[in-house]
C-alpha cells in the first residue's frame, strides 16, 4: 500500500507542476483533465501526508525512549502511543480511499419512478418520492429537469422521469434504486386502516456520447399531445415525443419541453441511459465475481426501504438503519441515510478486496 501511495504522491506532484505550466493553461481541454485528476488525487495525498507526519512523530518518540530522564521517557511513550493510534486510523482511511472508484460516480442521472402495488395510493406515494428528490436536488444545488409525468386525477403519479445534473450526483443517488414501500392511512380510507403500497425507483447514469452508440434506424419516433395538469400547451399541441427502441421494446416519453426538438433530444438522452444501464447489467451478470456491491445499487425488484407514517420512521433494509424523523426525510433531508449507505458500501468492498 505504501509503495502505491508513493506513486500517487509522485503523480500528484507531476500534475501540480503541469497545471502551473503556461503551455498547459492555454490548452483548455488538457487543463480541465489535469485539474480533475488533481482534485481526485488530493484527498489521498492529504491523508498520506498525515500518515507520514504520524510516522515522523513515532520515530522521534522512539529516539527519546532511551533517555535517562524518566519524565521525558513518559512523554515519549505517550507520543509514541498517540502516533501508533493515528497511523492505524489513517491506514484504514487510506485503504478506503484506494478502493477503485465507480466510473459512473461523477455522471448525471436519469431517475424513473413508477407506482407499484396499491392503486391510487401507490401513485400518490410516487408523487411524494418525486417531491422528496426534487427537494434533495434543490438543497444540493443539483440541476433538476422534469422529462415526463403521467398524473392521476387525485394528484398522484403513475410514472414520472426526470434528470438530475451536478458533481457527484450518481455517487449519491445510486443507492435509491429499488422498491420503496409506504405504510400509512390513505386519505380515501374512512376506517383508519393502514395500507401498504409500493413504488419503484430506477437511477440510471447518463450515457456519454462515446460510451453508447445508438443506431437511429432502430428508433420509431412519434408525436402526441402532452397530458397532465398545468401548462397552456398541455393537450393543445403535439409537442410530446415518444421514442420506441425496436430491438428491445423500450419506450421513452418526453413532454415537458415546449418544442418537439427539445423533447426528442431529451427522450433520446434518457433512452441511451437506459440502454447503457442494460448493457452494464448484462456485463455484471456475466461476471458474477464483479457483481454490484453487497448492499445493492440498482435492482428494481429489491425492496430497499419502508416509510412508516404512523411511527414517523423510515427504515433502509439493506443496512438495517431506521431514522425517526420521517417528515424531515420526505422534505429531502436524505444525507444521513445516504452517508450510512455509502459507508456500508465501502466497507463491503473493502472486505472483498482483503
Q: Same domain for 63 and 175? A: no
172 and 283 in one domain? yes
Whether 53 and 12 map to the same domain: the answer is: yes
Residue 102 falls inside a structural domain: no
Say how many domains are in the chain: 2
Residue 103 lies in a domain: no
Range of 128's domain? 109-348
Where does a domain end: 64, 97, 130? 97
Residue 186: band (very low, low, confident or very high) from pLDDT cuts 50, 70, 90:
confident
Q: Residue range 28-35: average pLDDT?
A: 88
Cβ partners under 8 Å of residue 234, min gap 6: 225, 226, 227, 228
Mean pLDDT of the chain: 84
If one counts every other C-beta atom within 10 angstroms of the C-beta of residue 17, the result is: 10
Q: What pLDDT is recorded for position 285?
A: 63
Last residue of a domain, one of 45, 63, 97: 97
Residue 353 domain-assigned (yes or no): no
3-state secondary structure of 9: helix
Q: For residue 241, tell me if it sits in a domain.
A: yes
346 exposure class (CB count in 10 Å sphere: 0-12, 13-18, 19+): middle
Q: What is the CATH number of the domain that holds 187?
A: 3.30.70.1660
Do 50 and 180 fall within a single domain?
no
Residues 69 and 120 in one domain: no
- Residue 210 falls within a domain, yes or no? yes
Average pLDDT over residues 201-219: 76
Q: Of 68, 97, 126, which residue constitutes the final position of a domain?
A: 97
User: Are residues 213 and 89 both part of a single domain?
Assistant: no
Cell of 121: 395510493
- 47 lies in some domain: yes
Mean pLDDT across 193-218:
80
Q: Which three cell numbers stand for residue 202?
A: 430506477
Is 52 in the same domain as 173?
no
Say whether both 83 and 154 belong to one domain.
Answer: no
In terms of domains, do 7 and 59 share one? yes
List pLDDT tens digits, range 131-184.
Answer: 999 999 999 999 999 988 889 888 899 999 999 999 889 999 999 999 999 999
Q: What is the mean pLDDT of residues 108-112?
A: 92
pLDDT band at 190 (very low <50, low <70, confident <90, very high): low
Helix ranges restricted to H, 174-322: 260-286
Sign of the torsion formed by the C-alpha atoms of 165, 169, 175 and 180: negative
Query: Is 196 found in the same domain as 137?
Result: yes
Residue 104 domain flag: no
Claim to verify: residue 325 and residue 265 sit in the same structural domain:
yes
Say if 179 falls within a structural domain: yes
Does residue 100 register a pLDDT over 80? no
Contact residues for 126 (Cβ-Cβ < 8 A; gap 6+): 113, 114, 115, 156, 157, 158, 159, 160, 199
140, 206, 243, 298, 311 from 133: Cα distances, Å = 11, 17, 25, 17, 22
Residues 118 and 27 in one domain: no
Amino acid at each position: 500500500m505504501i509503495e502505491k501511495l508513493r506513486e500517487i504522491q509522485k503523480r500528484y506532484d507531476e500534475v501540480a507542476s503541469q497545471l502551473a505550466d503556461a503551455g498547459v493553461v492555454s490548452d483548455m481541454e488538457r487543463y480541465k483533465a489535469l485539474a480533475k485528476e488533481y482534485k481526485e488525487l488530493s484527498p489521498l495525498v492529504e491523508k498520506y501526508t498525515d500518515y507520514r507526519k504520524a510516522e515522523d512523530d513515532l520515530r522521534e518518540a522512539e529516539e527519546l525512549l532511551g533517555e535517562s530522564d524518566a519524565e521525558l521517557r513518559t512523554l515519549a511513550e505517550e507520543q509514541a502511543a498517540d502516533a501508533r493510534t493515528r497511523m492505524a486510523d489513517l491506514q484504514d482511511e487510506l485503504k478506503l480511499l484506494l478502493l477503485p472508484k465507480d466510473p459512473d460516480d461523477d455522471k448525471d442521472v436519469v431517475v424513473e419512478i413508477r407506482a407499484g402495488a396499491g392503486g391510487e395510493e401507490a401513485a400518490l406515494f410516487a408523487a411524494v418520492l418525486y417531491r422528496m428528490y426534487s427537494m434533495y436536488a434543490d438543497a444540493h444545488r443539483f440541476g433538476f429537469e422534469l422529462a415526463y409525468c403521467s398524473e392521476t386525477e387525485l394528484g398522484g403519479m403513475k410514472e414520472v422521469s426526470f434528470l438530475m445534473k451536478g458533481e457527484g450526483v450518481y455517487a449519491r443517488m445510486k443507492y435509491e434504486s429499488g422498491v420503496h414501500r409506504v405504510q400509512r392511512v390513505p386519505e380515501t380510507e374512512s376506517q383508519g386502516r393502514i395500507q401498504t403500497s409500493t413504488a419503484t425507483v430506477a437511477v440510471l447514469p447518463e450515457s456519454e456520447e462515446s460510451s453508447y452508440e445508438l443506431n437511429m434506424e432502430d428508433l420509431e419516433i412519434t408525436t402526441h399531445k402532452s397530458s397532465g395538469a398545468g401548462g397552456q400547451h398541455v393537450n393543445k399541441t403535439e409537442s410530446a415525443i415518444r421514442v420506441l427502441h425496436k430491438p428491445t421494446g423500450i419506450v421513452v416519453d418526453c413532454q415537458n419541453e415546449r418544442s418537439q426538438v427539445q423533447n426528442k433530444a431529451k427522450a433520446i438522452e434518457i433512452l441511451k441511459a437506459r440502454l447503457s444501464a442494460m448493457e452494464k447489467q448484462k456485463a455484471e451478470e456475466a461476471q458474477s465475481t464483479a457483481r454490484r456491491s453487497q448492499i445493492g445499487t440498482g435492482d428494481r425488484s429489491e425492496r430497499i426501504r419502508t416509510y412508516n407514517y404512523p411511527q414517523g420512521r423510515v427504515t433502509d433494509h439493506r443496512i438495517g438503519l431506521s431514522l425517526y424523523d420521517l417528515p424531515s426525510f420526505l422534505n429531502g433531508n436524505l444525507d444521513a441515510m445516504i452517508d450510512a449507505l455509502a459507508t456500508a458500501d465501502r466497507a463491503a468492498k473493502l472486505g472483498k478486496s482483503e
